[in-house]
Amino acid sequence: MEKIRAVYPGSFDPVTLGHVDLIIRGARIFDELIVAVGDNPRKKALFSMTERVSFIRDAVSGLKNVRVTPFSTLLVDFARQEGAHVILKGLRAVSDFDYELQMSLINRRMAGWLETIFMMPSEEFSFVSSSLIKEIASHGGDVASMVTPAVDRALKKTPSRAKRIKSRRKPK
């Protein structure tokens, strides 16, 4: 039987335990899971691409069918190039739905062969987002229960960087 390869895309700035939870769930369902780290043009990243990729690699090193790679093309082109027919996305709450529906339908318009599948992270992480993590860390708050130890250390080293980045966030 043909192997099912899925792409889990995101900006992962930084990866949270909610993302890791979804990667673990995805790795159980799909034969191969590619975590694709991209830049969201609507957000100014706090961490470099190299840092974001390395945080995820560090977190999922025990999962043999998971690969982490940066991408800078259209997601549909990346999926085609990787031979993946599935996009995996996380849905935390109804508030995610509008944006995710729009993205999945526009990707379908561009690539009808690509199916988007949504999975819910554990309710333990349903309120966790990278933006809130950065906001809390920029004020010196404790995010250790919501991120990996490496991300926690990096955020502790960079609260002033988080603050600087926040103040020059791109206008909507």
Catalytic positions: 19, 43, 92, 130
- CB of 88 vs ligand PNS, minimal distance in Å: 11
Whole-angstrom distance, CA of residue 35 vs CA of residue 69: 6
Distance CA 79, CA 159 (A): 35
Binding ligand PNS (rule: CB under 6 A), the pick from 4, 29, 106, 144 is: 106
- The answer to whether the CB of 66 falls within 8 A of the CB of 60 is yes
Measured CA to CA, the distance from residue 31 to residue 4 in angstroms comes to 5
Q: Of 131 and 142, which has the nearer Cβ to ligand PNS?
A: 131
How far is Cα 36 from Cα 2, in angstroms, rounded to an integer? 22
3-class SS string, 47-113: CCHHHHHHHHHHHCCCCCCEEEEECCCCHHHHHHHHCCCEEEEECCCHHHHHHHHHHHHHHHHHCCC
Least distance between ligand PNS and beta carbon 37 (Å): 8
Task: Write the interaction track for ligand PNS spanning residues 66-85; mark x where CB under 6 A is met and - where it is not.
Answer: --------xx----------
CA-closest candidate to residue 57, choices 9, 11, 15, 120: 15
Of 14, 18, 26, 38, the residue at the interface with ligand PNS (CB under 6 A) is 38
Q: Binding to ligand PNS (CB under 6 A): which residues in 113-172? A: none
Binding mask 7-36 for ligand PNS (x = CB under 6 A): --xxx-------------------------
Question: How many chain residues interact with ligand PNS (CB under 6 A)?
Answer: 10
Residues 43-62 that bind ligand PNS (CB under 6 A): 43
Residue 1 CB, nearest distance to ligand PNS (Å)?
Answer: 29
Closest distance between ligand PNS and the C-beta of residue 168, in Å?
A: 18
